[in-house]
Structure 1
Amino acid sequence: MAQPQRVPAVDAGSEAKAGAGSKKKLLIVAGAAVVVLAVVIGVVAGVMKHNSDSSPEALVQKTITAYTDALNSGNLDTLRAVTCGAPHDFYQKISADQFTSVYRTSKDQKSIPLVKRVDAIQVTGDTAIAQATVYTEADPSKTSARTFDLRNEGGSWKVCDPQPGK
Protein backbone atom coordinates (compact mmCIF):
# COMPACT_ATOMS: atom_id res chain seq x y z
CA MET A 1 0.00 0.00 0.00
CA ALA A 2 1.28 3.47 -0.88
CA GLN A 3 2.34 5.81 1.85
CA PRO A 4 0.31 9.02 2.26
CA GLN A 5 2.07 12.09 0.95
CA ARG A 6 2.16 15.41 2.61
CA VAL A 7 0.60 18.24 0.55
CA PRO A 8 1.96 21.61 1.56
CA ALA A 9 -0.56 24.33 2.45
CA VAL A 10 -1.12 27.06 -0.11
CA ASP A 11 -0.38 30.51 1.21
CA ALA A 12 -2.88 33.32 0.49
CA GLY A 13 -0.36 35.27 -1.62
CA SER A 14 0.19 32.48 -4.13
CA GLU A 15 -3.57 31.88 -4.38
CA ALA A 16 -4.10 35.57 -5.24
CA LYS A 17 -1.37 35.33 -7.89
CA ALA A 18 -3.06 32.28 -9.41
CA GLY A 19 -6.42 34.13 -9.44
CA ALA A 20 -4.84 37.19 -11.06
CA GLY A 21 -3.42 35.05 -13.85
CA SER A 22 -6.85 33.54 -14.51
CA LYS A 23 -8.46 36.97 -14.56
CA LYS A 24 -5.79 38.24 -16.95
CA LYS A 25 -6.42 35.31 -19.32
CA LEU A 26 -10.16 35.90 -19.07
CA LEU A 27 -9.72 39.59 -19.97
CA ILE A 28 -7.54 38.69 -22.97
CA VAL A 29 -10.09 36.16 -24.23
CA ALA A 30 -12.95 38.63 -23.69
CA GLY A 31 -11.01 41.37 -25.50
CA ALA A 32 -10.33 39.06 -28.44
CA ALA A 33 -14.03 38.12 -28.57
CA VAL A 34 -14.99 41.81 -28.69
CA VAL A 35 -12.56 42.42 -31.57
CA VAL A 36 -13.90 39.42 -33.51
CA LEU A 37 -17.47 40.56 -32.91
CA ALA A 38 -16.64 44.08 -34.13
CA VAL A 39 -15.08 42.67 -37.31
CA VAL A 40 -18.13 40.46 -37.96
CA ILE A 41 -20.49 43.41 -37.44
CA GLY A 42 -18.38 45.53 -39.79
CA VAL A 43 -18.44 42.89 -42.51
CA VAL A 44 -22.20 42.39 -42.19
CA ALA A 45 -22.82 46.15 -42.29
CA GLY A 46 -20.57 46.47 -45.34
CA VAL A 47 -22.40 43.70 -47.19
CA MET A 48 -25.77 45.22 -46.31
CA LYS A 49 -24.65 48.68 -47.46
CA HIS A 50 -23.27 47.24 -50.70
CA ASN A 51 -26.53 45.39 -51.35
CA SER A 52 -28.63 48.46 -50.54
CA ASP A 53 -26.45 50.63 -52.83
CA SER A 54 -27.30 48.36 -55.74
CA SER A 55 -31.02 48.04 -55.02
CA PRO A 56 -33.34 49.39 -57.73
CA GLU A 57 -34.43 52.18 -55.38
CA ALA A 58 -30.83 53.25 -54.71
CA LEU A 59 -30.05 53.21 -58.45
CA VAL A 60 -33.17 55.28 -59.18
CA GLN A 61 -32.06 57.79 -56.52
CA LYS A 62 -28.55 57.95 -58.06
CA THR A 63 -30.08 58.59 -61.50
CA ILE A 64 -32.24 61.43 -60.18
CA THR A 65 -29.16 62.93 -58.51
CA ALA A 66 -27.13 62.61 -61.73
CA TYR A 67 -29.96 64.21 -63.72
CA THR A 68 -30.50 67.15 -61.39
CA ASP A 69 -26.74 67.68 -60.93
CA ALA A 70 -26.39 67.77 -64.73
CA LEU A 71 -29.25 70.29 -64.98
CA ASN A 72 -27.62 72.46 -62.33
CA SER A 73 -24.13 72.30 -63.85
CA GLY A 74 -25.23 72.48 -67.49
CA ASN A 75 -23.76 69.08 -68.41
CA LEU A 76 -25.44 68.30 -71.73
CA ASP A 77 -23.60 64.98 -72.20
CA THR A 78 -24.91 63.64 -68.88
CA LEU A 79 -28.43 64.88 -69.65
CA ARG A 80 -28.30 62.97 -72.94
CA ALA A 81 -27.06 59.85 -71.13
CA VAL A 82 -29.57 59.77 -68.25
CA THR A 83 -32.79 60.60 -70.13
CA CYS A 84 -35.13 58.72 -72.45
CA GLY A 85 -38.22 59.51 -74.46
CA ALA A 86 -39.07 63.16 -75.15
CA PRO A 87 -36.46 64.62 -72.75
CA HIS A 88 -33.76 62.51 -74.41
CA ASP A 89 -34.93 63.58 -77.87
CA PHE A 90 -34.80 67.24 -76.75
CA TYR A 91 -31.25 66.96 -75.40
CA GLN A 92 -30.13 65.01 -78.48
CA LYS A 93 -31.50 67.57 -80.94
CA ILE A 94 -30.49 70.79 -79.22
CA SER A 95 -27.10 72.12 -80.24
CA ALA A 96 -24.47 72.72 -77.58
CA ASP A 97 -24.63 76.48 -78.26
CA GLN A 98 -28.43 76.58 -77.93
CA PHE A 99 -28.28 74.53 -74.74
CA THR A 100 -25.62 76.80 -73.26
CA SER A 101 -27.82 79.82 -73.97
CA VAL A 102 -30.90 78.22 -72.35
CA TYR A 103 -28.80 77.01 -69.42
CA ARG A 104 -27.27 80.44 -68.78
CA THR A 105 -30.69 82.11 -68.85
CA SER A 106 -32.11 79.54 -66.41
CA LYS A 107 -29.04 79.84 -64.18
CA ASP A 108 -29.26 83.66 -64.20
CA GLN A 109 -32.95 83.47 -63.30
CA LYS A 110 -32.14 80.88 -60.61
CA SER A 111 -34.98 78.75 -61.96
CA ILE A 112 -33.26 75.37 -62.20
CA PRO A 113 -34.97 72.91 -59.84
CA LEU A 114 -32.80 71.46 -57.07
CA VAL A 115 -33.78 68.34 -55.16
CA LYS A 116 -34.04 68.87 -51.41
CA ARG A 117 -34.91 65.21 -50.85
CA VAL A 118 -36.44 62.20 -52.56
CA ASP A 119 -39.49 61.35 -50.49
CA ALA A 120 -40.65 58.08 -52.05
CA ILE A 121 -39.65 55.68 -54.81
CA GLN A 122 -41.90 53.01 -56.27
CA VAL A 123 -40.28 50.50 -58.62
CA THR A 124 -42.48 48.24 -60.74
CA GLY A 125 -40.45 46.06 -63.08
CA ASP A 126 -38.55 48.34 -65.46
CA THR A 127 -40.41 51.51 -64.49
CA ALA A 128 -40.19 53.71 -61.44
CA ILE A 129 -41.88 56.79 -60.06
CA ALA A 130 -40.13 58.98 -57.53
CA GLN A 131 -41.69 61.78 -55.52
CA ALA A 132 -39.24 64.52 -54.57
CA THR A 133 -39.29 67.85 -52.79
CA VAL A 134 -37.62 70.50 -54.95
CA TYR A 135 -36.79 74.19 -54.73
CA THR A 136 -35.02 76.81 -56.82
CA GLU A 137 -32.22 79.17 -55.91
CA ALA A 138 -34.64 82.06 -56.59
CA ASP A 139 -36.55 81.09 -53.42
CA PRO A 140 -35.01 78.18 -51.48
CA SER A 141 -37.67 78.46 -48.76
CA LYS A 142 -40.44 77.69 -51.28
CA THR A 143 -40.55 73.97 -51.96
CA SER A 144 -42.83 71.97 -54.21
CA ALA A 145 -43.46 68.34 -55.05
CA ARG A 146 -42.02 66.96 -58.26
CA THR A 147 -42.56 63.53 -59.77
CA PHE A 148 -39.79 61.82 -61.71
CA ASP A 149 -40.75 59.01 -64.08
CA LEU A 150 -37.94 56.61 -64.86
CA ARG A 151 -37.40 53.58 -67.05
CA ASN A 152 -34.70 50.93 -66.91
CA GLU A 153 -33.21 50.68 -70.39
CA GLY A 154 -30.38 48.26 -71.00
CA GLY A 155 -29.62 47.99 -67.29
CA SER A 156 -29.51 51.76 -66.66
CA TRP A 157 -32.22 53.89 -65.12
CA LYS A 158 -33.20 56.96 -67.17
CA VAL A 159 -35.45 59.96 -66.45
CA CYS A 160 -38.33 59.93 -68.96
CA ASP A 161 -41.74 61.37 -69.61
CA PRO A 162 -44.65 59.73 -67.81
CA GLN A 163 -45.91 56.62 -69.57
CA PRO A 164 -49.34 56.99 -71.21
CA GLY A 165 -52.12 55.87 -68.90
CA LYS A 166 -50.08 56.39 -65.72
Structure 2
Amino acid sequence: MSCIKLPMVEEGEACFAASNTNLVVHGNKTWIISGGKKSRVFYSADKGENWSVTETPILQGDAPTGMFSVDFYDDNIGFAVGGDYSNSSGNKGNKILTEDGGKSWKVMADGTAFGYASCVQFVPKSDGDGLVTVGPSGVWYSYDRGATWKKIHDEKSFHTIRFINDKSAIAAGQNSIVRLDFK
Protein backbone atom coordinates (compact mmCIF):
# COMPACT_ATOMS: atom_id res chain seq x y z
CA MET A 1 0.00 0.00 0.00
CA SER A 2 1.29 3.46 -0.84
CA CYS A 3 0.27 6.82 0.53
CA ILE A 4 -0.56 9.83 -1.63
CA LYS A 5 1.14 13.05 -0.56
CA LEU A 6 -0.93 15.98 -1.72
CA PRO A 7 1.01 18.95 -3.04
CA MET A 8 1.20 22.19 -1.11
CA VAL A 9 -0.98 21.26 1.88
CA GLU A 10 -0.73 24.24 4.20
CA GLU A 11 -0.60 24.60 7.97
CA GLY A 12 -4.13 24.38 9.39
CA GLU A 13 -5.58 22.76 6.25
CA ALA A 14 -7.46 19.49 6.80
CA CYS A 15 -9.76 17.00 5.10
CA PHE A 16 -13.06 16.55 6.94
CA ALA A 17 -14.52 13.08 6.44
CA ALA A 18 -17.64 12.81 8.63
CA SER A 19 -19.88 12.15 5.61
CA ASN A 20 -17.26 10.16 3.66
CA THR A 21 -17.64 12.64 0.78
CA ASN A 22 -14.43 14.66 0.70
CA LEU A 23 -13.07 12.48 -2.14
CA VAL A 24 -14.63 11.80 -5.55
CA VAL A 25 -13.24 9.44 -8.20
CA HIS A 26 -14.58 9.28 -11.79
CA GLY A 27 -12.48 6.95 -13.93
CA ASN A 28 -8.93 8.34 -13.84
CA LYS A 29 -10.02 11.68 -12.34
CA THR A 30 -9.84 12.39 -8.62
CA TRP A 31 -10.98 15.39 -6.57
CA ILE A 32 -10.12 15.85 -2.88
CA ILE A 33 -11.43 18.82 -0.91
CA SER A 34 -9.92 20.47 2.15
CA GLY A 35 -11.13 22.82 4.84
CA GLY A 36 -9.90 24.74 7.82
CA LYS A 37 -7.59 27.70 7.41
CA LYS A 38 -7.48 26.91 3.66
CA SER A 39 -10.28 25.26 1.72
CA ARG A 40 -9.12 24.11 -1.68
CA VAL A 41 -9.64 21.43 -4.31
CA PHE A 42 -6.85 18.99 -5.15
CA TYR A 43 -7.33 17.46 -8.61
CA SER A 44 -5.63 14.64 -10.47
CA ALA A 45 -6.49 13.62 -14.04
CA ASP A 46 -4.25 10.52 -13.87
CA LYS A 47 -5.17 8.48 -10.78
CA GLY A 48 -3.02 10.55 -8.42
CA GLU A 49 0.25 10.66 -10.33
CA ASN A 50 0.07 14.46 -10.76
CA TRP A 51 -1.95 17.03 -8.85
CA SER A 52 -3.14 20.59 -9.28
CA VAL A 53 -4.66 22.82 -6.60
CA THR A 54 -7.54 25.28 -6.99
CA GLU A 55 -8.53 27.99 -4.53
CA THR A 56 -12.24 28.24 -3.72
CA PRO A 57 -14.54 31.06 -2.58
CA ILE A 58 -16.14 28.98 0.20
CA LEU A 59 -16.05 30.29 3.77
CA GLN A 60 -12.63 29.45 5.25
CA GLY A 61 -9.90 30.73 7.54
CA ASP A 62 -10.64 29.04 10.87
CA ALA A 63 -10.37 25.40 11.95
CA PRO A 64 -14.14 24.60 11.80
CA THR A 65 -14.70 26.21 8.36
CA GLY A 66 -14.41 25.20 4.73
CA MET A 67 -15.70 22.46 2.48
CA PHE A 68 -17.04 19.36 4.21
CA SER A 69 -18.56 17.52 1.24
CA VAL A 70 -18.31 17.46 -2.55
CA ASP A 71 -20.06 15.55 -5.31
CA PHE A 72 -19.57 15.52 -9.07
CA TYR A 73 -22.46 14.71 -11.39
CA ASP A 74 -20.04 14.15 -14.26
CA ASP A 75 -16.51 15.25 -15.15
CA ASN A 76 -17.56 18.92 -15.25
CA ILE A 77 -20.47 19.64 -12.88
CA GLY A 78 -19.61 19.58 -9.20
CA PHE A 79 -21.04 21.03 -6.01
CA ALA A 80 -19.47 21.47 -2.56
CA VAL A 81 -21.00 22.42 0.78
CA GLY A 82 -19.70 23.20 4.23
CA GLY A 83 -19.54 26.46 6.09
CA ASP A 84 -18.70 26.90 9.75
CA TYR A 85 -19.29 23.82 11.88
CA SER A 86 -19.30 25.98 15.05
CA ASN A 87 -21.99 28.32 13.59
CA SER A 88 -24.41 25.88 11.98
CA SER A 89 -26.95 28.59 11.04
CA GLY A 90 -24.46 30.74 9.09
CA ASN A 91 -25.48 30.52 5.43
CA LYS A 92 -23.02 32.85 3.72
CA GLY A 93 -20.29 31.39 1.53
CA ASN A 94 -21.19 27.77 2.30
CA LYS A 95 -22.38 26.48 -1.12
CA ILE A 96 -20.22 26.46 -4.29
CA LEU A 97 -20.64 25.18 -7.86
CA THR A 98 -18.21 24.29 -10.63
CA GLU A 99 -19.16 23.64 -14.23
CA ASP A 100 -15.61 23.22 -15.55
CA GLY A 101 -14.39 20.20 -13.60
CA GLY A 102 -13.25 22.19 -10.58
CA LYS A 103 -11.02 24.74 -12.29
CA SER A 104 -13.27 27.55 -11.06
CA TRP A 105 -16.00 27.76 -8.43
CA LYS A 106 -18.77 30.24 -7.68
CA VAL A 107 -20.80 30.83 -4.53
CA MET A 108 -24.46 29.88 -4.87
CA ALA A 109 -27.57 30.98 -2.92
CA ASP A 110 -25.41 33.18 -0.69
CA GLY A 111 -27.18 34.18 2.53
CA THR A 112 -30.20 31.94 1.83
CA ALA A 113 -31.37 28.43 2.66
CA PHE A 114 -29.35 26.20 4.98
CA GLY A 115 -26.34 26.91 7.13
CA TYR A 116 -23.48 24.46 7.66
CA ALA A 117 -24.08 21.23 5.72
CA SER A 118 -22.16 17.99 6.17
CA CYS A 119 -23.08 16.20 2.92
CA VAL A 120 -24.25 16.97 -0.63
CA GLN A 121 -25.28 14.55 -3.36
CA PHE A 122 -26.53 15.01 -6.91
CA VAL A 123 -29.88 13.45 -7.70
CA PRO A 124 -29.30 10.71 -10.30
CA LYS A 125 -30.68 11.34 -13.81
CA SER A 126 -31.21 15.06 -13.05
CA ASP A 127 -28.74 16.38 -15.68
CA GLY A 128 -26.76 17.82 -12.77
CA ASP A 129 -29.60 20.11 -11.71
CA GLY A 130 -30.93 18.17 -8.68
CA LEU A 131 -29.07 18.33 -5.36
CA VAL A 132 -29.81 17.20 -1.81
CA THR A 133 -27.94 18.25 1.34
CA VAL A 134 -28.10 17.12 4.96
CA GLY A 135 -26.84 18.69 8.16
CA PRO A 136 -27.98 20.52 11.29
CA SER A 137 -30.31 22.73 9.22
CA GLY A 138 -32.28 19.68 8.01
CA VAL A 139 -32.60 18.12 4.57
CA TRP A 140 -32.68 20.54 1.62
CA TYR A 141 -33.37 20.08 -2.11
CA SER A 142 -32.42 22.17 -5.16
CA TYR A 143 -33.79 21.60 -8.66
CA ASP A 144 -31.66 24.33 -10.31
CA ARG A 145 -28.03 23.41 -9.58
CA GLY A 146 -27.99 25.15 -6.22
CA ALA A 147 -29.42 28.55 -7.17
CA THR A 148 -32.47 28.04 -4.91
CA TRP A 149 -33.23 25.56 -2.13
CA LYS A 150 -36.30 24.13 -0.39
CA LYS A 151 -36.32 22.40 2.99
CA ILE A 152 -37.86 18.94 2.60
CA HIS A 153 -37.26 17.39 6.03
CA ASP A 154 -36.62 18.82 9.51
CA GLU A 155 -34.30 16.04 10.76
CA LYS A 156 -31.11 17.72 11.98
CA SER A 157 -29.06 14.65 12.98
CA PHE A 158 -28.16 13.39 9.48
CA HIS A 159 -24.47 13.51 8.54
CA THR A 160 -24.57 11.67 5.22
CA ILE A 161 -26.90 10.73 2.38
CA ARG A 162 -26.53 8.39 -0.63
CA PHE A 163 -28.89 7.67 -3.48
CA ILE A 164 -29.67 3.98 -3.98
CA ASN A 165 -31.51 4.69 -7.25
CA ASP A 166 -32.90 7.75 -9.04
CA LYS A 167 -35.87 8.08 -6.65
CA SER A 168 -34.64 6.93 -3.22
CA ALA A 169 -31.81 7.82 -0.87
CA ILE A 170 -30.57 6.60 2.50
CA ALA A 171 -29.73 9.28 5.07
CA ALA A 172 -27.85 8.46 8.26
CA GLY A 173 -26.74 10.22 11.39
CA GLN A 174 -26.50 9.84 15.11
CA ASN A 175 -28.85 7.00 16.11
CA SER A 176 -30.84 7.15 12.87
CA ILE A 177 -30.98 5.71 9.38
CA VAL A 178 -33.92 6.54 7.10
CA ARG A 179 -34.97 6.01 3.52
CA LEU A 180 -36.14 9.14 1.70
CA ASP A 181 -38.30 8.66 -1.41
CA PHE A 182 -38.44 11.44 -4.01
CA LYS A 183 -41.22 11.90 -6.55
> Would the TM-score normalized by the shorter structure come out above 0.5?
no
Structure with a larger share of its residues in helix: 1
TM-score by length of 2: 0.25
Larger Rg: 1
Structure with a larger share of its residues in strand: 2
TM-score by length of 1: 0.27
